[in-house]
Amino acid sequence: MGMDKAKDIDGYLASVPQEQRAALQKLRKQIMAAAPGAVEGISWGMPSFKYKGKQFAGFAAFKMHCSFFPYGSWKKLVPAADLKGFEKTKGTVHFTQDKPLPASLVRKLVKAKLKENAVKYKKKK
């Protein structure tokens, strides 16, 4: 879903079912609120967010769920207990329109990822 080579996030969202679209639009707002100054785009065929030129998050719609990608292991960012009740893979957290990610959790994941990126890229300089 949404993989029709969208050029921007609005185009991506227009291609997913309405129920998922609403959940992803909410997530988009939460990500941007947690990372003021972030830049939106499309990467790997899905909505992606950059801060200071470094990618930190993305999301996508799938047949049975939506996924939030903190671009790395969520295990490094938050305790597993914070994600209780959500399906997870190594690098994604799955949610549905009926059970969206809480804004506080999105904020926590985004802030932790931005901090991780700041440390990671500071060491590379």
Each residue's pLDDT tens digit, 60-112: 999 999 999 999 888 888 988 999 999 999 889 999 999 999 999 999 999 99
Lookup result for tokens 């499309």: 42
- pLDDT at residue 5 in the model: 80
The residue-averaged pLDDT of 8-23 equals: 95
**pTM for this model (two decimals):** 0.89
| Topology at the third CATH level for domain 9-124 | Aspartate Aminotransferase, domain 1 (3.90.1150)
Q: CA-to-CA distance for 1 and 13, rounded, in angstroms?
A: 9
Those residues whose C-beta lies under 8 Å from the C-beta of residue 1, and which sit 6 or more positions away, are 15, 16, 17, 20, 60, 61, 62, 63
Q: Is the pLDDT assigned to residue 57 strictly greater than 80?
A: yes
